[in-house]
Structure 1
Amino acid sequence: MDVNFRKIDIDQYDEDVLLESELYEPDPRDPAQVVSDAKQKATAVRSSLAKGDIVGALTLALTDAPYGPNVDEAKNLNLQTLVSILNSTKSSEIPGVVKSLPPDSQDTLMKYLYKGMALPGWGDLSGSVLLVWHEKLTEAAGTGCIVRAMTDRRLV
């Protein structure tokens, strides 16, 4: 008998199994609307960066971040937008930018930093840029920001 017992999904027989959809409220927007919002946000962020408004650009990128299933294109677009902000910011400006963000935006930024760290060699993203941002964000927001980013089920 050539049956691999590890391929059997035993959770299908369990009545008390916790589903992904039960862990958090899904994004109420339609996936097409989320992609459209991400494209509009990317355009607004580019114009803010052209004006030199890094705090405004970062705030725009971090508000209403796409999460949940079926919005992978919007998630990637928002990540690319955020990476352009991170790369264009001088290291001497980072502490002031991070301190000016509200706590919810700081937590979302931490999620994006960890997402960037999980993707080695992704685009123009340098590991040193992520580590500098992580250091300054942890100094400003404390270690609670890390815990909230790691335990939140709404993945960006």
Structure 2
Amino acid sequence: METAFRKIDIDKYDEEVLRDEDLYDADPRDPGQVLEEARQRQAAVRSSLAKNDTAGALAVILDNAPYGPNVDEAKQITLSTLLTILNSTKATEITSVIKALTPDAQDTLMKYIYKGMAMPGWGDISGSVLLGWHEKLTEVAGVGSIVRAITDRRIV
């Protein structure tokens, strides 16, 4: 049975198709620059964690997060660094760390929590860690943070 007809991209013939690049502006930075910034932030986070400055480390990694196409390696570095921060934070400190973040950083954190939950087997992080952060973040930022994280087209 011939199934090659199913591999045709019919959207390329439709003039009114809605693409991701029509919904938001692409990251204006060069992909190489984004990757270098992600590596620099990873080093800054390590030094902040060595000083027990979890809030500072989280603020650094959430600032100007990579999004859009062609920056997959930077996205992976940022995600793994963020998961390291979440995993190394004591449960009693989570609420105070979240309150120290700006509302935009809280929304970005929510995106990364959902991205961590989407990983197969949740990667190297325990499910209870991600769910605990999600619970505390929802208490502080409200349900609106969930809605903003899910509806934002800029995928981290």
TM-score w.r.t. length of structure 2? 0.95
Q: Gaps (5+ residues) in structure 2?
A: none
Change (3 A) 1:52 1:6: same
Of stretches 33-42 and 115-124 in structure 1, the one that deviates more from structure 2 is 115-124
Write out aligned runs for 1:86-101 (5 A). 86-101=86-101
Please give the root-mean-square deviation of Cα atoms over the aligned residues, in Å.
1.3
Match of 1:52 in 2: 52
Match of 1:102 in 2: 102
Of stretches 83-92 and 121-130 in structure 1, the one that deviates more from structure 2 is 121-130
Q: Gaps (5+ residues) in structure 1?
A: none
Change (3 A) 1:2 1:84: closer
Cα deviations by residue, 1:67-91 (Å, 9 ceiling, x for unpaired): 0000000000000110110011000
Match of 1:119 in 2: 119
Change (3 A) 1:3 1:118: closer
Match of 2:130 in 1: 130
How many residue pairs get aligned? The number is 156
Change (3 A) 1:3 1:48: closer
1:13 is the counterpart of 2:13: yes
Deviation, 1:10, is 1.9
Matching residue's letter, 2:89: T
TM-score w.r.t. length of structure 1? 0.95
Cα deviations by residue, 1:11-40 (Å, 9 ceiling, x for unpaired): 122111112211111111100000000000
